[in-house]
Structure 1
C-alpha cells in the first residue's frame, strides 16, 4: 500500500487531447473515484497509471517510486477490468493464482495467498469450478481476488460493476467497499455512475474533456460545486438566472427570495 502522486499527466491522440495536465495526490489507503461522462479521459488516466498507455508528458510516483514509464508487471498494481478478464479454461483457484505463478512464488505461498483471497471475497468453496459455472457477481469477485492476491501497492478498478444487474450491482458495491476498508489498500475506481461514486468514494475526481473540474468529498461536490457543470452532473439541479444582493436572490424575472445560508456562486461555464 502506498500513496500516489500524479503531476502533469498528458495524453494526445493526433490533434485530440484525451488527458491534459492531470495532477493529483492520492492518499495511502484512500478510495478515490474517477467520475465523469463518457469520453472525459477517466479510463485513459487509469490505464496510464496501470502502464497500459504510455503518457506523452507528466510523472507518476507510487510510494515515492517513479513508475511513469515502468511496464505494468513492474508496478505492483492490481487491476480489475470491466469484463472480468478471467481465463475460461482455468479453475477459479488457478485464475487467482495466475499472477503469483508469473512472479514465481513458492507453491505453498501461492496456495496460502489464493486461499486467503478467495475467503476474503467469500468464494473459498468454489476454487475447483470454472468461470462459466459462476454468476456474474461471483466472477467479478474472483477478478477482485486475483488482483489482491499479489498484494499490490494500489488497486485499480475500471468500471467493475457496469456489467452487473441493478440488484447485484448494489450488493457487490457494498462488498467491494467493505473489502477495501478491511485491507486498507489504496484504491482508484473509474465509474460514470454518480450514485455509485458518492456511495463508496472517500473523494471524487470529476473530469470533463480530459481535465479535472473538481476534487472533493461527495458532500463538497454536491453542496459546493465549483461550476455549473459540476452542479448539473452531481445533483438534480434547477438553475435560476439572477443576482445575489446581500441576503436576497433576485431572479431575472423579478422574483425575490431569502438566500441566507445558501451557497451561491456565479456559473463559470
Structure 2
C-alpha cells in the first residue's frame, strides 16, 4: 500500500494524463480549424512564419493562377488585400484553374520562407465549390511587391524598366523607380522575355511568390516588352483565362 502522499500524487498524474488524452481526442474529433487566408498569413510568430505552421487548417478562396506544382489562392472577400493570398503546393499539375472557388484542407508549412498549404500531406483535400472572376489585381509599386504582406496576392506593377535580363534559370528583374524586383519567368529565349536592359514594359500582373530568399513577381500572361526604339506595347492575352508563365 502506497503512503497517502504518494498515492495522491499518482492519482493527480493519472487525472492529468486522462485530461490530456481526452483533450487530444476532442481536438481530433473537432477536425481542422476554419481559418481565413488573412488570419493564416497575418498571424505570425516572427513577422514571417505563420503561427499555424504544422497545423491542419481549412480555408477557402478563389484561384488566381496556377503553375507546374501548385496554385495561388486568394480571399476575394477580405477587407484588406494585404495577407489575403497564399500558395497551395500540389506536387504536380493542379486540378483547379483560375476562377475556381475552392475549399482547401491541408497542413500549413514553411518552405524556405514561403508559407504554403501542402496538398501532398496526409488526408489533405481540395474541392471546387463554384467559379467567379479572378479578383482584380491590386496596383502596387515594385518596392511594395517585395513585402511579406503581399506574398501570394495577385498584384499589378506598371511603368517598368528592365534592369536584368533572363539568366540561367529564366528570371529577370524590373523596377518602376522605387526598387527592383525579380520576375519569376521560365521562358528564357522566348520572344516575350526582354533581351536588353533598359527595355520598358507597361505592366506585369500576377501573384507575388517567394523563393531562394527573395520575393518575385509571377507573370500570368504573355506580353511583349519594348525594345529600344520601339513604341510601348501592352499585354497580349492568351485566351480568356490568365496563365501563369
Common topology (TM > 0.5): no
Give the number of the structure whose residues are more often helix, by fraction. 1
* Larger RCO, structures 1/2 (Cα 8 Å, 6+ apart): 1
Report the TM-score when normalising by structure 2.
0.28
Higher strand share: 2
